[in-house]
Structure 1
């Protein structure tokens, strides 16, 4: 049984690294359906359930210090890839497609919560807010919403469960729908010529970016992200406080704004922000899971059903938006997966249409990082009133 804070942190990071290594090197099909980050959560949760470590004062202090300080740094690094100038190049139709998907997902969460409210615990709106953040942006946004709303770690078990099962089936559905693209585009009367031209242009620009990561890149990004984290947490207490906007919420909003600003500076061209932010993300997910317990997941089926209802509402509203704005199936599908799947899966769906369109999938997924935290918090605020 682990009782020391440093041993606890060291084991979790090593454990996460082994699962990431297994995903990279192994040919197991398991990882196609359960990515390393999901396995990290549920395996760490299992170890917590069987008492592999004890929640001593030292472990609790190590958990809180590391998680609270890494979270803003991770958000900052994650947003360095989100250059608004590049995103605006997507043009009005792609942006309409993306935000139609975002709004339909938010509506799906609100309507579903109202329908299933009687089956859930009193504070389930917080778990829904976290999942909404993930389904607009990514796991990083989910963790950001969790930190901002002080959501109990155990509640994220339901969120990860829905994020894994519902999301996997949704990805398969969107890939299956690719073959129906010509009929769908004819029905919506969409024009795909501009999308092909944009994809070729973005691919050309992507080829000019430096890819090799050097020591100086890592230490500059690490130092800057930690400094931004410290500054955001220092400034947060000076801002107006309410039951919803408290210290942690403000620090996350501050660091989000700083990340968007720095993404338009030369700092964004330093390679390595993706790798470093992922190290922080996987560490934070392992820490959160280590405080959860399987005995608390007693209503898993109803949450999974609710997840499919959310996706159903999102699909219907997306098809309606496609007809109104004359959007093609590529735009609708990639916009949906850019929200729900993020950077890991949107480019895969884009490639299913054409390799030249992969950069569009990447940019749309990055846009989700920008709005995911705010969208999740907004949905959380609405659900807290219902």
Structure 2
């Protein structure tokens, strides 16, 4: 049994490293393509917790847990979001941004419909679970983690968020990949009367901007500056959030998430946007936060898994209908509809893959559209959670 905070954090980092070493080495296997690292980390940590590896009565261990959830989350948000430059995103043009938000709105409607249909079978705290779970479908794991912290979704409740993330993402990603063929694209564009003439022009403009990016490894000074900026952002977040009023809708945790996100987005429009490896280092804190949340879980309590899987089917179906209607109204081509949808549901890591299936020159579209989800996702899902709460 682990009884100290230092031992606890050490174990989290060791376990995370083992999972990523294995998934990186054997990532070509179907097993690791269907079940990503996030699932292995969450299930693994939940099993350790279920079988009593962590001493829940230890002040030292619980202090470490609190530090990770309270201090490292805003630090991670500041570091991650400074990689998203809103000015670059705007270069996508109004049509691509409109397509993204059509996807966002249809997902929100899908969550509301699924919640109304299934609420009698969902647990009492489902409004917050579904709200946090929506974070990964309007953004990325980053937004799910942030929303869960703001809404107080932990332990076994958070397990349902991870279940929705893994199941919903896998189904939708497979569906989009299967519909990327040239024949499907031609048929879809003809049916929707889509205009694709502006794509090449926008792609060329964005491509030139991406080529200017410095991809060399960061030096010591750059990493130290990155750490200083992130810690300063988290420190400012704690100071401001402690002065903010709280109520049943806005807890101090919610303020921390909102303020640190705003600081990170603001830093993305300064020279700090060019700090190297920000996203890579932020991912360490992201998965540390995820593993920490999982360590409170007891898988024996996760009896509601089937209803959350049905929830995913319902909201994805509504999202599909919504994107088809939007494509018909606004004459979106299949590429635009695909990438807008995946930028919501898969984020920065998956949207470029779908974009590349259509045209390797369009990868930058996926990257920038994925950034929109990182920027707005947390704010959108917190509003969605309150709507579900009222329902």
TM-score, scaled to structure 2: 0.97
Q: Structure 2 CA distance, aligned partners of 1:53 and 1:149?
A: 24
Within 5 Å, give how 1:163-174 maps onto structure 2: 163-174=165-176
1:22 aligns with 2:27: no
CA offsets 1:278-336 (integer angstroms, 9 cap, x no match): 01101111111111111111011111011110000011011001100010111111111
1:202 aligns with 2:206: yes
- Residue in 1 that maps onto 2:113: 111
Q: CA deviation at 1:201?
A: 2.2
- Residue in 2 that maps onto 1:126: 128
- Residue in 1 that maps onto 2:164: 162
Q: 8 Å contact 1:222–1:276 — kept in the other structure?
A: no
Q: Structure 1 CA distance, aligned partners of 2:281 and 2:147?
A: 20
CA offsets 1:320-360 (integer angstroms, 9 cap, x no match): 01100010111111111111111111100000001110000
Q: Structure 1 CA distance, aligned partners of 2:280 and 2:229?
A: 15
Q: Secondary structure at the match of 2:303?
A: coil
Measured on the aligned residues, the alpha-carbon RMSD in Å equals 1.1
- Residue in 2 that maps onto 1:299: 304
Q: 8 Å contact 1:100–1:318 — kept in the other structure?
A: yes
Q: 8 Å contact 1:148–1:249 — kept in the other structure?
A: yes
Within 5 Å, give how 1:201-350 maps onto structure 2: 201-212=205-216, 213-350=218-355
Q: CA deviation at 1:53?
A: 1.9
Q: 8 Å contact 1:233–1:248 — kept in the other structure?
A: no
- Residue in 1 that maps onto 2:185: 181
CA offsets 1:233-272 (integer angstroms, 9 cap, x no match): 1111212221111211112111111111110111001111
Q: Structure 1 CA distance, aligned partners of 2:79 and 2:63?
A: 25
Q: 8 Å contact 1:97–1:327 — kept in the other structure?
A: yes
Q: Structure 2 CA distance, aligned partners of 1:252 and 1:146?
A: 10
- Which runs of structure 1 show a deviation greater than 3 angstroms over 4 or more consecutive aligned residues? none
Within 5 Å, give how 1:348-363 maps onto structure 2: 348-363=353-368
- Residue in 1 that maps onto 2:195: 191
Which blocks of at least 5 consecutive residues in structure 1 are unaligned?
Answer: none
- Residue in 2 that maps onto 1:95: 97
Q: Structure 2 CA distance, aligned partners of 1:329 and 1:214?
A: 42
Q: Structure 1 CA distance, aligned partners of 2:222 and 2:132?
A: 32
Q: Structure 1 CA distance, aligned partners of 2:206 and 2:325?
A: 29
Q: CA deviation at 1:57?
A: 2.3
Q: CA deviation at 1:185?
A: 0.8
Q: Structure 1 CA distance, aligned partners of 2:250 and 2:342?
A: 30
Moved more, 363-372 or 24-33: 24-33
Moved more, 51-60 or 155-164: 51-60
Q: Structure 2 CA distance, aligned partners of 1:156 and 1:306?
A: 15
Q: 8 Å contact 2:91–2:206 — kept in the other structure?
A: no
Q: Structure 2 CA distance, aligned partners of 1:31 and 1:217?
A: 33
TM-score, scaled to structure 1: 0.98
Equivalent pairs counted in the alignment come to: 386
Within 5 Å, give how 1:28-39 maps onto structure 2: 28-39=29-40
